[in-house]
Structure 1
Amino acid sequence: MAQNGEGKDSQNLRHQEVGHKSLLQSDALYQYILETSVYPREPEPMKELRELTAKHPWNIMTTSADEGQFLNMIIKLINAKKTMEIGVYTGYSLLATALALPEDGKILAMDINRENYELGLPVIEKAGVSHKIDFREGPALPVLDELIEDDKNHGSFDFIFVDADKDNYLNYHKRIIELVKVGGLIGYDNTLWNGSVVAPPDAPMRKYVRYYRDFVLELNKALAADPRIEICMLPVGDGITLCRRVS
């Protein structure tokens, strides 16, 4: 977001990359990261899906390319096989995960909008990874509650990525902490929330940023105080907090 005192011309120069959620002060530096590290290694299906999503009117909802690269590497580093994603949109982060998983890996993916998911589905199918995805349309909480009812699901997920309605993040955490294994990871997206987490309460903000800001602040406070996890907040994309379950 433009800082106070910046004119319209300056604002127009910022955030020209679709999905640009970086909090770096220098757009040129972020562009350097993309062009030097991310785009040269971005798998062709992910590039295709990124460019397809760029044409969608809600493209700001997509996972940024640098975060997609980060998720792909995390999945490989922990040798994940069973994962979950809450909030899918067109599936860029989902595809990043699916490409990283082994052939028999599985992703339980949930979103309230199947239409957006089906926009990216042809690309996912062409990439040969759609068999790894179990997509459920609708709210995630009832699905999570159903999973918790069966003891065999407790501690069965290697990695869970949450990028959905921020006002339910704490409700998700209460449930998925039971479902991720000890030593497994949870990733919460948007935990720096456009930088609004350090903005004064009367600072000018877009309505949706202001609405969800308090929920993000509440989540960040709760994660820092939760003895069941180790955490690391990273300024990748719009902020991602990795939680490693330790008990």
Structure 2
Amino acid sequence: MATNGESEQNQTHRHQEVGHKSLLQSDALYQYILETSVYPREPESMKELREVTAKHPWNIMTTSADEGQFLNMLLKLINAKNTMEIGVYTGYSLLATALALPDDGKILAMDINRENYELGLPIIEKAGLSHKIDFREGPALPVLDQMIEDGKFHGTFDFIFVDADKDNYINYHKRLIDLVKVGGVIGYDNTLWNGSVVAPPDAPMRKYVRYYRDFVLELNKALAADPRIEICMLPVGDGITLCRRVN
């Protein structure tokens, strides 16, 4: 029979292996938030999609349930109507957004993998929300460049959520700052990157964490110095930085 110490070690190791999202001081505190605030109020469609996604081999990429709740609330608070999402995966954050928007709200959703998106699509359709979504398969940067070139999309988005390739976050920001309206919000996910942003360079890290760490650090530094935005970095999920365009 495992001792308490051994059990705690196994628990820690398990969370490291699946990319535990919470940066709180204890798993018990995070679980308290989920069980007290998040799960009791989670829409049935989001619960269903969360459970479907949990069975996928890359479930580490999904938005955490507490972050999904946060995004849903935020979108309602800012009365968002025209939004964009870069990096969709199976669509948990996309569903949180679609639920928050009015019936005539729109989401331009982009991801390089349609197959993952289609795992969640039946649930989104069953919830009667697919008409809000314009899904584009493929890299987002060419789409953004075309939108900027067209000219008519400047300052038209109320909210943009980015949870995609971290090595392009800076490139996304250079374009999105023109597409989000003054007073609108861009949310960059994973800006605390498994806590690695404060880890020594020689600290043991999984390969993908180490590879993207410098890109996340570069983004965080750039956002802090950008006079066009106000920022707020929150320890929700794996860290999310909200950027409100001020000019």
Evaluate the alpha carbon distance shift between residue 11 and residue 160 of structure 1 in structure 2; reply closer, same or farther with a 3 A threshold: farther
- Which digits, 9 at most, give the CA deviation of each residue in 1:175-217, with x for residues without a partner? 0000000000000000000000000000000000000000000
5 Å-filtered alignment, 1:170-181, equals 170-181=170-181
Pairing 1:202–2:202 present? yes
Q: Specify the alignment match of 2:159 in structure 1.
A: 159
Post-superposition offset of 1:111 = 0.3
In the alignment, which of 12, 33, 44 is matched to residue 10 of structure 2? Answer: 12
Aligned residue runs from structure 1 range 224-239, under 5 A:
224-239=224-239
2:53 and 2:216 map into 1 onto residues whose CA distance is 25
- Contact 1:19–1:64 (CA<8 Å) still a contact in 2? no
Alignment of 1:210-221 (within 5 A): 210-221=210-221
Deviation, 1:25, is 1.6
In the alignment, what sits opposite 1:144? Answer: 144
Once the two structures are superposed, residues 73-114 of structure 1 have per-residue CA deviations (whole angstroms, 9 ceiling, x without a partner) of 011000000000000000000000000000000000000000
Spell out structure 1 runs of 4+ moving beyond 2 A: 7-12
Determine the structure 1 residue equivalent to 2:222. Answer: 222
Count of aligned residue pairs for this structure pair: 240
Aligned counterpart, 2:82:
82
Q: Percent same amino acid among aligned pairs? A: 90
What's the counterpart of residue 183 of structure 2? 183
Q: Distance in 1 between matches of 2:97 and 2:174?
A: 23
Mapped pair 1:28 → 2:39: no
CA RMSD of aligned residues (A): 1.3
Q: What letter corresponds to residue 245 of structure 1 in structure 2?
A: R
C-alpha distance 8-221 of structure 1, shift in aligned 2 (>3 A): farther
**Residues 57 and 8 from structure 1, CA distance in 2 versus in 1: closer, same or farther, beyond 3 angstroms?**
farther
Instruction: Give 1:152 deviation, angstroms.
Output: 1.5
Whichever residue aligns with residue 8 of structure 2, its letter is S
* Unpaired runs of at least 5, structure 2: none
Contact 1:230 1:243 survives alignment (8 Å)? yes
What does residue 3 of structure 1 align with?
none
- Quote the Cα distance in structure 2 between the aligned partners of 1:220 and 1:8: 37
Compute the displacement of 1:13 (Å): 1.6
5+ residue gaps in structure 1? 1-6
Q: Deviations over 1:37-94 (max 9, x none)?
A: 0000000000000000000000000000000000000110000000000000000000
TM-score by length of 2: 0.95
Paired residues of 1:162 and 1:188 also in contact (CA < 8 A): yes
Tell me the residue number matched to 1:38: 38
What is aligned with 1:4? Answer: none
Distance 1:205 1:20, change over 3 A: closer
Q: Distance in 2 between matches of 1:150 and 1:226?
A: 25
TM-score between both structures, scaled by the size of structure 1: 0.95
**1:12, CA displacement in angstroms?**
2.8
Instruction: State the shift of 1:236 in Å.
Output: 0.2
Residue 233 of structure 1: CA displacement?
0.1
- Following the alignment from structure 2 to structure 1, what is the Cα–Cα distance between the partners of residues 236 and 124? 24
- CA–CA separation in structure 1 for the residues paired with 2:53 and 2:9: 22
